Amino acid sequence: MGRPPGHAGAFVDIDDRMAAALIDLGRHGEALEMRWVVRQTREAGTHEDATPIRLDLWLTEQAQNACACCIRPTRTVNCSTMSSVSPAATSTLLTAFTSSAKGRGASRCSSRAPKRVRHVGGRQRAVHRGVLPKPTPEHTHPGELAGVLSNVVFIRVVSLGPAAQVPFVGKGSRPPSIKKWKYMRDIAEITELARIARVDTLKSLWASQSGHPGSSLSALDVMITLYFGGYLRVRPEEPNWPERDIFLLSQGHAAPGYYACLALRGFLPRRELETLRQFGSRLEGHVKRGITPGVESSAGSLGQGLGFGVGAALSIRRKNEDRRVFVMMSDGEQQEGSTWESVMFAGSHQLRNLTAFVDVNRNQINGPTHEIMPIMDDLPGKYAAFGWDTHEIDGHDIRQIGAALDDSLTSDRPTMIISHTVTGKGVPYMEGDYHWHHGKITNDLFLEAMGALDESVSPSPDESWVPGATPTPSWLA
């Protein structure tokens, strides 16, 4: 069932007790793609050593009978640590969910239209979409919540503090069957998906004999984490789903890696990656809007994606929607002046629904970035100076990526995640070498790369050299 709590800020799967206490996970199926972000508030004088947590609930679309506008979880409470857990603390948290459920009830809600939750200033006004179970206000016993939250299919607990503790004690509940939401994978699974994406990327670059392996591979772990870690809420079968989150590949040349990610996520067949850069293909050399499912904006001329993201984030905020914008930039791109126009705007306007990455692989076309523009080595200081929440991570450590992203979800300002990566990560002869920003992969180099990625292929080109030859993991299919 659930796994023991992990480290701070990582994906912490709920443990049996938590699950048992909270939910009856009998349901499977398509989860409503919305998050209930429960913000942490300090209750003065109590639980000082408490660990703030965030609970993400994925709810089924089949949730019955209640109108979402009646459910208003408004706050978290500090949850005491495992060693001093008390039923009171447990029930306080759960009551925080359910007390907000006091309301008029579905029968008195005037609107029958699908609705969804809005996040406004840290509190949730469940105004739209999402039919949720009708709660009753008296719940104090965790087990009694089973009926209320019976349509929750997955809960992710994220610890926002140094000690990741999961503080609930169940009483009288039975172990649930936890079925993970399909696109909320854990670290081991994401790592394997990234490996497969690397294999597909290299196969497509071998097929095209043209393209950008260096950045495709350095940015890949972040992109896979976004698409498979539950951060980017999208619908491959409906790429223009109005409630989707937005991902912008501002460093449009990392397209091959991005396409591999999109293919794994289901936007296009993995086999189609073979057509990269060919005439008539849906996969151009740099990402193009309108031709590749899942691509929001064309890119390729650096210094523009962040501005587009600012516009999208502004629009989303104006419409009071619970949607996020993620922008992936390169380190060379920081040399474009227009980047900083967007940075200062986002900082001035506190666009909290905007999270950007800089893929710091330390290379650009004509050489290492620190030789060409050394003053830009200290990016965190610069972004912080412009009013952004800034993180610095190892961009190949899924756990760190997740932790930084988790933080960004509750920030009140735009977030910059400086992601230290390696050009051509995963392929030893490429790693760290600026010549592999772009380049042709010969048959021999291809075989060497496959070896490094633990991918067995035939010694000469055949079906096994085609993207998609690696079977999609069963847990994803």
Shortest distance in whole angstroms from residue 336 CB to another protein: 9
Compare residues 147 and 311 and give the one whose CB is closer to another protein: 311
CB 172, min distance to another protein, A: 48
Q: Site map for another protein, 71-100, x if CB under 8 A?
A: ------------------------------
Residue (217 or 306) nearer to another protein, CB:
306
Residue 373's CB is within 10 A of a number of other CB atoms, namely 14
In the complex, the smallest distance separating the C-beta of residue 312 from another protein, rounded to whole angstroms, is: 4
**Least distance (Å) from another protein to the CB of residue 243?**
12
Of positions 59, 222, 316, 409, contacts another protein by CB under 8 A: 316
Counting contacts by CB under 8 A, is residue 255 touching another protein?
no
Nearest to another protein of 313, 416 (CB atom): 313
CA torsion sign, 387 to 395 to 357 to 401? negative
> Which CB atom, from 305 or from 426, has the smaller least distance to another protein?
305
For another protein, the closer of residues 311 and 368 by Cβ is 311
Instruction: Please state the closest distance from residue 276 (CB atom) to another protein, in A.
Output: 19
Number of residues near another protein (by CB under 8 A): 32
The torsion region of residue 295 among left (phi > 0), alpha (psi -120 to 50) and beta comes to beta
Nearest distance in Å: CB 299, another protein: 8
Give the separation between CA 450 and CA 254, rounded to whole angstroms: 20
What is the residue whose two structure tokens read 């079925």? Answer: 179
What the block records as the tokens of 198 is 């690397």
> Do 274 and 207 meet the contact criterion of CB atoms below 8 Å apart?
yes
Centroid of chain to Cα 385? 26
Total residues found in the chain within this entry: 477
Distance in Å, CB of 350 to another protein, minimum: 14
Interaction residues for another protein, span 143-162 (CB under 8 A):
none
Q: Which residue number, 133 or 347, has a Cβ lying nearer to another protein? A: 347
Nearer to another protein by C-beta: 345 or 472? 345
Q: Please list every residue from 319 through 348 that binds another protein, using CB under 8 A.
A: 319, 337-338, 341-342, 344-345, 348
| 99 φ/ψ sector (left φ>0, alpha ψ -120 to 50, else beta) | alpha
Distance CA 366, CA 397 (A): 28
Q: Rounded to an integer, what distance in angstroms lies between the CA atom of residue 193 and that of residue 190? A: 5
Rg (alpha carbons) of the chain, rounded to whole number: 23
Q: How far apart are CA 335 and CA 27, in angstroms?
A: 50
Residue 84 CB, nearest approach to another protein (Å):
47
User: Residue 44: which residues within 8 A CB-CB, separation 6 or more?
Assistant: none
Residue closer to another protein (CB basis): 81 or 298 = 298
Q: Report, in Å, the least distance between residue 436 CB and another protein.
A: 25
What region, left, alpha or beta, does residue 156 occupy, with left being phi > 0 and alpha being psi -120 to 50 degrees? beta
Q: Which of 133, 155, 136 is nearest to 144 (CA)?
A: 136
Tell me how far, at minimum, the Cβ of 130 lies from another protein, in Å.
21
String of contacts with another protein for each residue 276-315, x by CB under 8 A: ------------xxx-----xxxxxx-xxxxxxxxxxxxx
Q: Contacts with another protein in 345-364 (CB under 8 A)?
A: 345, 348
DSSP string, 272-322: GGGGTT-TT-SS-SS--TTTSTT--S---SSS-HHHHHHHHHHHHHHTT--
Which residues of this protein are in contact with another protein, per CB under 8 A?
288-290, 296-301, 303-316, 318-319, 337-338, 341-342, 344-345, 348
